[in-house]
Amino acid sequence: MLLKGLNHVATITNDSARLQDFYRDVFEAEVARDGSESPEGKGPRLSIIKIGDWSELNVFEIEGNTEADRQTPMFGRGRIDHLAVQAASLEAFETIRERLMIRGSADDFVTDFGPMLSIFFRDPDGLECEVCVENPDATPGEFHPPGTRAARYS
């Protein structure tokens, strides 16, 4: 394989500080950059939030832009529907799940897709995201549809 994975996903926010706090508090993410996109100090605010070794959120705060306010249901969001991140381990997945539930960003439902467990959540801007982890209870070759509750989280 010639790729290591996704490098970044670019999003738009109306509140960079709030979004940085969310990803730092829930995922222990690191804000690698925060400031004007251009060296002259003009243009949108760009925050680079490192969410993994090779993965970043490039978050733009653009005065007057209202895209972050627009919420639409799944599969009505355009070409990119949602963002999924991979937890480092089952223990990390459980820590993230607990933090998301405390913040009211996710409910207690964990989906069993077969080889993968999944939690859906919304970030402070309403962006729908998903946390995935390898399912330790998986049966090889067995896949489950959305809405299948994971037995270990019943």
Give the residue extent of every domain in the chain: 1-64, 81-154
Summarize pLDDT for 78-87 with one digit per residue, the tens.
777 788 999 9
| Whole-number Å distance between alpha carbons of 139 and 40 | 56
pLDDT band at 25 (very low <50, low <70, confident <90, very high): very high
pLDDT of 42 reads: 78
- pLDDT bucket at 77, cuts 50 / 70 / 90: confident
Tokens of 79: 């070409």
Angle subtended at Cα 48 by Cα 108 and Cα 130, rounded to the nearest 5 degrees: 20
**Do 1-64 and 81-154 come out as alike in CATH topology?**
yes
pLDDT at 124 over 80: yes
Closest by CA position to 148, among listed 123, 115, 126: 115
pLDDT of residue 59: 92
Query: Strand, helix or coil at 137?
Result: coil
CATH class held by domain 1-64: alpha beta
What's the CATH number for 81-154?
Answer: 3.10.180.10
